[in-house]
Amino acid sequence: MNDIKISPEFRTQTTKAILSIILFITAYLFMLVLAVGLTALCIYGGVMLIVSFPGLVTIVLGIGVASLGVLVLFFLLKFIFKSHKVDRSHLIEIKRIDEPNLFKLIDEIVKEVGTIFPKKVYLSSDVNASVFYDSSLWSMFFPIKKNLQIGLGLVNTVTKSELKAILSHEFGHFSQKTMKVGSYVYNVNQILFNLLFDNESYDNLMTKWANTSWYFSICVVIAIKIIEGVKWILRHIYDVVNKSYMALSREMEFHADEIAANVTGFEPLKNSLLRLSFADHAYNNVLSFYEKKITENKRSENIFKEHLFVLNFLAKYRNIKIINNLPQISENEINKFNKSKLVIKDQWASHPSTIDRIAMLENTGLSAKNINNESANHLFSDIERTQRELTNKVFEDVVFSGECSTITFELFQSDYKEQFFKETFPKVYNGYYDNKNPLFFDIDNIEHLSDNTRFEELFADSKIEMVYTAISLQSDIESIKQISENIFDVKTFDYDGIKYSKKDCKSLLSQLKNEFENLNEKIKLNDINIFKYFKRQELNANVKSSLEKLYTEFFNYEKEFESKYDVYIQLSNELQFINIITPFEQIKTNFIKIEPLEKQLKKGINELLESQICQPELTKEIKENLELYLTKKWQYFGDEKYFEKNLEILFSAMNNYAFLLSQGYFLTKQKLLNYQVEFV
């Protein structure tokens, strides 16, 4: 791999990263020297106070003064005692004797990339692969062997050549000496994160010290003010270091991709990158399925077998080609619903976009040879045994209420399909309603039904594109609005191939809002034509008229939904004080403040319990939770402590309310769309 040259952009970002490290070290050492000086001065002052005016009060005050400097100094040094250990509880370590074929593949990659064999190899359930190590301050100065983590969800959804490409990418991160800079920046980032955000133990120490004596509390307040000033400086340095780290990280990804392309050619990595998000989506589908089975005390026997089934089931549903039992995702499929014209350079992204990575891979021109399209699962000695072992890990921490049993693969397939179609709008709509609702129109004023528009025209690809263009346009408008309001720290951006600055936002927003309104009018017209079409079909079928009633029900539910859901949002926001240290009197005031919102919540819950549309989702557990909450006015605080059980009742009621309200929205829409399908 010596012939792979570092790109100019990589060198630029490496230089910036080095400069950011120098900035941090300089600023940190300067503050450390001042802190040492302050500590010496405070200790000297405290001792002199005690010596000059001996007495109990001056002894306590002297200790307090001395502690002021120590507290500030300790704040700057506390990261030294912190090490970052990766949680391995969800991992299974494998050895060469267990998986000789997999280790043989790793041997080949290590040799071709020109790096060292990992310290240990672990398996996880994830749809991912990574290299990790336990880091501390000392890992910046001493070489540390890395561990390889391979997700069985990934192995399950790639070929042997694709897995080799992915692992080559991971080892590529550590094959060049320049990668050490990335490690330094990472560790500096860890130090800054510790100083800025990982302060729970330190804050507890400060609180205990302040509560020891009134004199100590004065010194603690002064120390806190000094530390706030230190944090202000560090926060600005953190932004600089973090941006340089993310920029370097993106270049490291491109570099590692090129190394992988040298090992396998670019096609295997390209194909796996295109499939990765879809495979992860399928895996999360399986996990969501089993989340709903916890109350039934049901779990999976082999979650990965089910994962592969769901992957191919979803691919078939979306008309995606399947080769070698794996979906072949195209770039068009990824961009199918993304019609955004806004391009903002994301300074905080650690990875380039999949499309950018593929473009760089193709630019290498390193075409694949001797591609092995056999499933990567075949690298394992007994893949089903390993999959079942990892499945046990997935369910290890799940708490079941009774004796647990497994679901057979055949039952999973039928149950999953039933659940999928229950939660999906009919396929005949071509995805038209998947991310949009029928736009409101006055049903009473729709008189002319003579329009002869065909069903295929109403839900043609051109209409779907119009819908997703409007969705992307609305998102672009919101993003540009945030740029204009300085919520996004962006100096320039591209829109539709033209560069704009912050001062151009106002005129661009005006233009885009007009475009959005015009586009929405076209979509609304199509929605009206859809109504006309199904009204004609209903009349021709000579059945009892229900269409107007279903549209009216949906429009009414949609109209009320936002205000009802806002009760949940407001309550959630008002209860945030529970998570932070709050004075007792303020806690009491805050709970009095939410009483009007609780009255609205209880009114909304009663309406949902009586609603016919929500009955299918009203499980025994949800009903009991809501009815318990409605039994009385609950108290959440007293005797200077929270009543945790009562708070659990409140939060359960809030979450159940939000769930039923959202499901009611979905079911009202689904009922309308399912009725229309009867006339297709």
pLDDT in tens, 501-526: 988 999 999 999 999 999 999 999 99
Structure tokens of 270?
């390209």
Q: Across residues 403-420, what is the average pLDDT? A: 95
Q: What pLDDT, in 10s, does the model give residues 466-498?
A: 999 999 999 999 999 999 988 877 788 899 989
How many contiguous H segments (helices) and E segments (strands) does the chain have? 22, 13
Q: Across residues 289-296, what is the average pLDDT? A: 92
Total Cβ atoms within 10 A of residue 445 = 7
Helix ranges restricted to H, 351-408: 354-363, 383-394
Distance between CA atoms of residues 454 and 648, nearest Å: 53
pLDDT for position 445: 85
pLDDT for position 604: 95
For residue 416, what are the contacts with CB-CB under 8 A and spacing of at least 6? 285, 286, 289, 306, 309, 310, 313
Distance between CA atoms of residues 38 and 57, nearest Å: 23
Q: Across residues 317-321, what is the average pLDDT? A: 93
pLDDT higher than 90, residue 287:
yes
Total Cβ atoms within 10 A of residue 460 = 15
Residue scoring higher pLDDT (493 or 305): 305
- Dihedral through CA 639, CA 643, CA 644, CA 649, nearest 10? -170
667 and 617 in contact (C-beta within 8 Å)? yes
pLDDT for position 464: 94
Q: Is 668 exposed, middle or buried (0-12, 13-18, 19+ CB in 10 A)?
A: buried
pLDDT for position 497: 87
Distance between CA atoms of residues 286 and 412, nearest Å: 10
Structure tokens of 76?
């700057």
pLDDT higher than 60, residue 77:
yes
Q: What share of the chain has pLDDT > 90, as a percent?
A: 62
CB hemisphere CA count around 39 (13 angstroms): 14
Q: Is 62 exposed, middle or buried (0-12, 13-18, 19+ CB in 10 A)?
A: buried
pLDDT higher than 60, residue 45:
yes
Residue scoring higher pLDDT (655 or 448): 655
Q: Which of 302, 198, 181, 339 is nearest to 252 (CA)?
A: 181
Structure tokens of 607?
């309406």
Q: What is the pTM of this model?
A: 0.83
Of 9-18, 555-564, 593-602, where does mean pLDDT reach its minimum?
Answer: 9-18
Q: What share of the chain has pLDDT > 70, as a percent?
A: 94
Distance between CA atoms of residues 357 and 354, nearest Å: 5
Q: b/e for 106-117, b at 16 or more Cβ within 10 A? A: beebbebbebeb
269 and 162 in contact (C-beta within 8 Å)? yes
Q: What mean pLDDT is reported for the chain?
A: 90
Distance between CA atoms of residues 467 and 523, nearest Å: 7
pLDDT for position 349: 67
pLDDT higher than 90, residue 9:
no
pLDDT band at 461 (very low <50, low <70, confident <90, very high): very high
Q: Is the dihedral of CA 477, 482, 488, 493 positive or negative?
A: positive
pLDDT for position 213: 80
Of the spans 174-188, 576-590, 620-634, which averages the highest pLDDT?
A: 620-634
pLDDT for position 141: 58
